[in-house]
Amino acid sequence: MTRNVFVFDPERVAIGDCASFPDEIGVGERPFHVEVGFGKDIRTLRMAEREPEARFLGIEISRKKCVKFREKVARAGLRNVRCYWGDARKALAEMLPAESVDSFTILFPDPWPKRKHHKNRWVQEETAALLARILKPGGHIIVATDHDGYRDQIRRALSGAGFEETLTLDHVPEDDKSLFAERFERLGETVTYMKWGRPNREPLP
């Protein structure tokens, strides 16, 4: 099972020791998609089953959820999925090469609604710059949130990093449905689903 699913444990393996990860998963050779904060959802597994030629990485800070994810991948017999347990910012900054990812998906990240906690929000100027470095030209980012204030911050951060908002919906499409999306739908709460593109441009130096 360990050959099929890698959970990088920050207590035992430094991120710097994972430099072989891009080669191991075939980054650069095939489409590569990353989901940040998959939680209890199986969206990434659905996509991996549907696109066996592509490669998928789930990043999650909860060890328990990563272990569950690994078990689901193993039961499904998928060989094109990996999981990273730890801080997504460090994974993006130190593990993924420039212009290596075709898409990022970030569904309902914690909005940290109190002003004093806004610094903990995942999508900020710093992470937007990381996404811009790692995303391939022509790639895209999918973000969904139920918090208006966070939605506005996401827009400022991504537009400031050079991304263009290409789609906005007040619901989450079926392919991207998550447990949170289903819950908000049942409760009749408003959500914002956004797709952001990175314009084609000259490769980064």
Radius of gyration over every alpha carbon of the chain, rounded to an integer in angstroms: 16
**What pLDDT is attached to residue 23?**
66
Each residue of 95-138: pLDDT tens digit? 888 898 999 999 998 888 898 989 889 999 999 999 999 999 99
Give yes or no for residue 16 having a pLDDT over 50: no
Closest CA to 110 of 124, 128, 126, 96: 124
Where, residue-wise, is CATH 3.40.50.150 in the chain? 1-97, 112-205
The CATH code of the domain at 112-205 is 3.40.50.150
- Bigger pLDDT: 3 vs 127: 127
CATH (one of 3.40.50.150, 1.10.10.10, 3.10.105.10, 3.30.1330.10) for 1-97: 3.40.50.150
Band the pLDDT of 3: cuts 50, 70, 90. Answer: very low
Of 9, 17, 23, 110, the catalytic one is: 110
To the query of whether residue 41 is one of the catalytic residues in this protein, the response is: no
Question: Alpha carbon 115 to chain centroid distance?
Answer: 24
**What pLDDT is attached to residue 22?**
61
Q: What six digits make up the tokens of 200? A: 């084609």
Give yes or no for residue 38 having a pLDDT over 90: no
Which residues are bridge partners to 150 per DSSP?
none
Question: In this prediction, what percent of the chain has a pLDDT beyond 70?
Answer: 83
What pTM did the predictor assign? 0.85
